[in-house]
């Protein structure tokens, strides 16, 4: 079961009003979206997700909860295209936008696409449930990229201190056979780093898997584009709530808000990011690194 992170803080921060057009650009299993629809029955919600299962599960939840179907419309796609989906929903602006940038629990636990090293799955890491035959995957990176390029991705997107050692081990291993499964990659990483690193607080492959996932899905590029499109789509006085989970994402959000403030386009409503309480972290350990920033357009 996916637990929505910083749920009440996000919904409270959006300050929903009757008639608002609300965008949930990372619908997932509709935790935040459902709360918004139940908080203000008169809003219109546009939900966007790249995963077909997320769309279908959200539809089911809304139907079971008796949410009026005239109050929501869901789209399979990328939140960087939210302006297109706003038009397709018959609207011309957004009043509120929320983005939860974290990977959902179903992606980690049951997607079968290799997001986690805890299960042996095909090394895909695509957000799409059914990637096309020629879709870009994590397997493409580890099996075809130059050693230096792999190392650069691991360092830039995973802050992996042993990026060059891991990249070297990957290239050496793939000469024997393709690296197609998560167990293969996790074992390569573990065997290429110092023993003290293997005994650390996190699994030694954590940063490698994060980096590959970010690269495969162009997560940072999507975020930059999505924030810019979101700002253009927001009505004056509209709000944007963004939950990030690692420093690369949070830095992009922080700089976006800072630039918007400098240009007189809005202001931050969270001088410091809102973080989960000790109680929430105890109940949902995956929330521990979450940071919520809220922005209002002027």
Share of the chain above pLDDT 70, in %: 97
Q: How far apart are CA 70 and CA 86, in angstroms?
A: 15
Longest dimension (CA), the chain: 62
Residue 163 CA, chain-centre distance (Å), reads 23
Tell me the HSE value of 29 on the side-chain side, using a 13 A CA sphere: 12
Q: Is 21 helix (H, G, I), strand (E, B) or coil?
A: strand
Query: pLDDT tens digits for 265-293?
Result: 999 999 999 999 999 999 999 899 999 99
Task: Report the pLDDT value the prediction gives residue 109, as an integer from 0 to 100.
Answer: 64
CB of 169 closer than 8 Å to CB of 191: yes
Query: pLDDT tens digits for 26-43?
Result: 999 999 999 999 999 899
Question: DSSP assignment, residue 272?
Answer: S
Q: What is the mean pLDDT of residues 185-208?
A: 94
233-237, long-range: CB within 8 Å, 24+ apart, which pairs?
Answer: 233/23, 233/82, 233/83, 233/86, 233/93, 233/94, 233/97, 234/93, 234/94, 234/95, 234/97, 234/297, 235/93, 235/94, 235/95, 235/297, 236/297, 236/298, 237/95, 237/296, 237/297, 237/298
Q: Hey, how many other C-beta atoms are within 10 angstroms of the C-beta on 150? A: 24
Q: How far apart are CA 26 and CA 49, in angstroms?
A: 5
Task: Report the pLDDT value the prediction gives residue 134, as an integer from 0 to 100.
Answer: 80
Phi, psi of 243 (to 5 degrees): -105, 120
Query: pLDDT tens digits for 154-187?
Result: 999 999 999 999 999 999 999 999 999 999 999 9
Mean pLDDT for all residues in the chain: 94
Q: Which domains does the chain have, with CATH numbers?
A: 7-106+219-297 (3.40.50.150), 112-217 (1.10.150.170)
Structure tokens at 290: 């979450």
Predicted structure pTM score: 0.92
pLDDT over threshold 60, residue 110? yes
């Amino acid at each position: 079961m996916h637990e929505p992170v910083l749920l009440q803080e996000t919904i409270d921060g959006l300050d929903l009003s009757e008639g608002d057009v609300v965008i949930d650009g990372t619908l997932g299993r509709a935790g935040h979206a459902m709360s918004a629809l139940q908080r203000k029955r008169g809003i219109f919600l546009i939900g966007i997700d790249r995963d077909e299962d997320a769309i279908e599960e959200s539809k089911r939840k809304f139907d079971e909860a008796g949410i009026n179907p005239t109050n929501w419309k869901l789209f399979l796609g990328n939140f960087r295209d939210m302006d297109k989906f706003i038009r397709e929903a018959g609207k011309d602006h957004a009043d509120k936008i929320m983005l939860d940038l974290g990977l959902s629990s179903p992606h980690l636990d049951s997607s079968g696409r290799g997001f986690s090293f805890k299960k042996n799955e095909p090394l895909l890491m695509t957000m799409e449930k059914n990637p096309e035959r020629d879709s870009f995957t994590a397997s493409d990176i580890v099996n075809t990229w130059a050693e230096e390029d792999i190392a650069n991705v691991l360092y830039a997107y995973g802050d992996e201190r042993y990026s060059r050692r891991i990249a070297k081990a990957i290239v050496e291993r793939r000469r024997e056979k393709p690296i197609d499964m998560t167990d293969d990659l996790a074992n390569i990483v573990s065997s290429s780093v110092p023993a003290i690193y293997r005994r650390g607080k996190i699994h030694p492959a954590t940063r490698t898997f994060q980096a590959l996932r970010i690269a495969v899905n162009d997560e940072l590029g999507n975020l930059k584009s999505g924030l810019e499109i979101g700002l253009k789509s927001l009505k004056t006085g509209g709000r944007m709530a963004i939950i990030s989970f690692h420093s690369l994402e949070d830095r992009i959000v922080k700089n976006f808000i800072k630039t918007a403030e400098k240009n007189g386009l809005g202001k931050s409503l969270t001088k410091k990011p809102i973080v989960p309480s000790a109680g929430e972290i105890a109940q949902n350990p995956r929330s521990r690194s979450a940071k919520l920033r809220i922005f209002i357009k002027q």
